[in-house]
């Protein structure tokens, strides 16, 4: 078990996320709030105003305390963001654990990530500074690694697949959020309306034909677009599995 000095050297929030707190935090009067409640309020603010609207003073105001008083519970905003990410992600869905093939596990895991970003879009804006180190985030990685067991890939290759699918989920979720944003959709529609008469005139016939298709400016990212990219990635992983298998058998 790590002692207080070792915990002090950890990145912000790691020990607290694992339920390990320094004895110095328990001195003085009994706290009026809890770390869990502070994180709940931070999620409320983030859901309502986005990551850009999250601030220590806003959280404190909702709790009826001063911003400085928050530091009795968390050492810094960076520490709070680690706890916020942990709570926002939560555990991976059981359906991913129950997948019976690597392909089903990888598909379910990626879709679950996209869905979590849809529920909490601000997760896209949280800074990712380290590999997964908090309980829920480690669990997301663990369930992916476990689900890929029957693929025959080694841990390094499997981790590479996780990073690839994580990046895809983030890019798709960001596009979906942009498409679903009324201001962004209005701006895109205005831009396309401006461009359409110019494209053929300026020598861009293929782009002109594409923008004439109403699906180009839909308010939602078509599911077919999500599946197209995911299937191409899974096909690539399948090719890697075959390549590794051939190397072993050869």
The pLDDT tens digits for 133-160 are 999 999 999 999 999 999 999 999 999 9
Domain count, the chain: 2
Cβ pair 141, 100 in contact under 8 A: no
Q: Mark whether 100 and 76 lie in a shared domain.
A: no
In angstroms, the CA 192 to CA 203 distance is: 16
* Lowest model confidence (mean pLDDT) among 109-118, 149-158, 196-205: 196-205
The mean predicted confidence, pLDDT, of the chain is 87
Evaluate whether 123 touches 117 at the Cβ level (below 8 Å): yes
Give the Cα separation of 178 and 182 in Å (integer). 8
pLDDT tens digits, 25-44: 445 566 678 999 999 999 99
Find out whether 80 and 13 touch, Cβ atoms under 8 Å. Answer: yes
Domain edge (last residue) among 72, 88, 104: 88
Q: Say which residue the tokens 């209005």 belong to.
A: 186
Is residue 180 very low, low, confident or very high in pLDDT (cuts 50, 70, 90)?
low
- Residue labelled with tokens 């380290």: 130
- With a pLDDT cut of 90, the percent of the chain lying above it is 63
In a domain, 232, yes or no: yes
For residue 80, what are the domain limits? Answer: 4-88
Question: Residue 123: inside a domain, yes or no?
Answer: yes
Report the CATH number at residue 168.
1.10.357.10
105 and 127 share one domain: yes
| CATH number reported for the structural domain that contains residue 12 in this entry | 1.10.10.60
User: Do residue 84 and residue 106 come from a single domain?
Assistant: no
Domain boundary among 88, 122, 145: 88
- Which residue, of 88, 116, 131, is where some domain finishes? 88
pLDDT at residue 189, rounded to an integer: 76
> pTM (2 decimals)?
0.84
| Res 217: pLDDT | 55
Q: b/e per residue, 106-117, with b = 16+ CB within 10 A?
A: bbbbbbbbbebb
Evaluate whether residue 193 is within a structural domain: no
Q: Looking at the domain assignment, is residue 191 inside a domain?
A: no
Tell me: pLDDT of 218 over 80.
no
At residue 23, the pLDDT reads 40
Question: For the packed helices 155-180 and 223-249, what is the interaxial angle rounded to 10 degrees?
Answer: 170
């Amino acid at each position: 078990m790590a002692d207080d000095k070792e915990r002090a050297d950890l990145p912000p929030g790691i020990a607290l996320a694992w339920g390990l707190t320094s004895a110095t935090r328990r001195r003085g009067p009994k706290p009026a709030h809890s770390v869990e409640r502070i994180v709940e309020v931070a999620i409320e603010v983030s859901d309502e105003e986005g990551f850009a609207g999250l601030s220590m003073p806003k959280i404190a105001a909702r709790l009826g305390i001063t911003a400085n008083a928050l530091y009795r519970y968390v050492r810094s905003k960076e520490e709070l963001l680690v706890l916020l990410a942990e709570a926002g992600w939560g555990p991976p869905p059981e359906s991913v654990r129950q997948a019976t093939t690597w392909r089903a596990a990888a598909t379910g895991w990626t879709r679950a990530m996209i869905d979590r970003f849809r529920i909490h879009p601000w997760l896209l804006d949280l800074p990712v500074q380290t590999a997964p180190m908090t309980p829920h985030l480690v669990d997301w990685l663990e369930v992916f690694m476990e689900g890929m067991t029957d693929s025959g890939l080694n841990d390094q290759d499997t981790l590479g697949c996780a990073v690839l699918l994580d990046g895809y989920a983030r890019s798709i979720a960001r596009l979906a959020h942009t498409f679903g944003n009324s201001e962004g959709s209005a701006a895109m529609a205005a831009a396309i309306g401006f461009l359409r008469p110019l494209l053929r005139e300026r020598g861009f016939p293929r782009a002109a034909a594409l923008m004439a298709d109403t699906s180009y400016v839909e308010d939602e990212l078509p599911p077919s677009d999500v599946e197209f990219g995911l299937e191409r990635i899974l096909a690539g992983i399948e090719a890697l599995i075959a390549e590794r298998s051939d190397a072993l058998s050869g």
